[in-house]
Amino acid sequence: MRGAAVPQWDVAVESCVPASARELFTRTAGQPWPREHAEAAEAELDAFAGFLTARGIVVTRPDPVDHTRSFSTPRWSSPGGLYSAMPRDLLLVVGDMIIESPMAWRSRYFEADAYHRLLTGYFRRGARWIAAPRPLLDDDTFDAGFDRETPFATQSYATTEVEPTFDAADFTRCGTDLFAQRSHVTNRLGIEWVARHLDPEYTVHIVETIDPYPMHIDASFVPLAPGKLLLNRNKVKDVPSVLDAWDVRVAPEPAVPDDFELYMSSPTVGMNVLMLSETQVVVEAQETALADMLDEWGFDVLPIPFRNVMRFGGCFHCVTADVRRRGELRSFV
């Protein structure tokens, strides 16, 4: 969260974040987040990095960037950026390919810059590094009159189909299969762009949602291990038929209190767990009902305090983007 900034309030942001954030975003766009909350989140991120390192996992972190600096394109300007804390939003890693996402939030237009040195290093070591076409993000990329109550029913979203846009976090990987959702930041053109650029052994499946604020699939549809799927039944309409043989369980109600301020997400972001292996799962320490369910399901639960990070729109899966895993690449469906 070092150098993070409050994003500008616009159609794309409004579609995804709690309405209670509007006053703060409008008043302080481009300025640092409230210091107490940002520093608490940074401390949790540092502790989590230390936890992973102690378990023998190689952790690399982005370069520092001052997101409070204003910037512009020939078409629009922004009083600042957002942050470099959520690489899963930005980078889609599939096999030896790393794809930079054409994100729909204008505040995130140059977010990949913080990872440029790391990506160059991966490329030198053999990775295929590509970037989706950087979108123009003109006004016609957005639909100010989108259906704010049931966009999934009316096929009405904050983003239009004039150019490909997608956040990497609207895709979740499971072996040679990827599951993707149409959301307020990911359009059908974006999903099609990804599908065309993947190697032939990969298949993209669409997950139908019933979420009025769809943004990022990894807090509603979470493949945990071969044959095991964690689901938010309030957000997912139907599980793809290729998973009919899987054990599907619904996540319990989140433990986040009603008076806990979440700037950029719903309380269900606690579902955003991280699998270290097919049996080890990292869970936010206060999500005890979820931890108990996962323990009963046969997982080794590793609780880590992360609620302050959750304020800013992500949890363990969001703040990581694994580039190398042990094991065989195969289909699990």
Determine the pLDDT at residue 234: 92
Catalytic residue check, 318: yes
In this predicted model, what pLDDT tens digit does every residue of 73-99 receive, in sequence order? 999 999 999 999 999 999 999 999 999
In this predicted model, what pLDDT tens digit does every residue of 262-304 receive, in sequence order? 999 999 999 999 999 999 999 999 999 999 999 999 999 999 9
Determine the pLDDT at residue 326: 86
Model confidence band, residue 162 (pLDDT cutoffs 50, 70, 90): very high
Catalytic residue check, 315: no
* Tokens at 150, concatenated: 């049931």
In this predicted model, what pLDDT tens digit does every residue of 303-318 receive, in sequence order? 999 999 999 999 999 9
Which of 129, 130, 128, 88 lies closest to 108 in space, CA to CA? 88
* Segment 148-156 mean pLDDT: 93
5 - beta bridge partners?
32
Strand residue runs (E) in the chain: 71-72, 77-78, 91-94, 97-100, 128-131, 171-174, 177-180, 203-206, 208-209, 221-225, 228-231, 236-238, 247-250, 274-275, 280-284, 300-304
Determine the pLDDT at residue 6: 98
Catalytic residue check, 216: yes
Percent of all residues in the chain with a pLDDT value above 90, rounded to a whole number: 95
Model confidence band, residue 237 (pLDDT cutoffs 50, 70, 90): confident
Check 216, 218, 315, 317 and give the catalytic one. Answer: 216
Mean residue pLDDT across the chain? 96
Instruction: Please say if the pLDDT value at position 244 is more than 90.
Output: yes
Check 89, 167, 170, 211 and give the catalytic one. Answer: 167
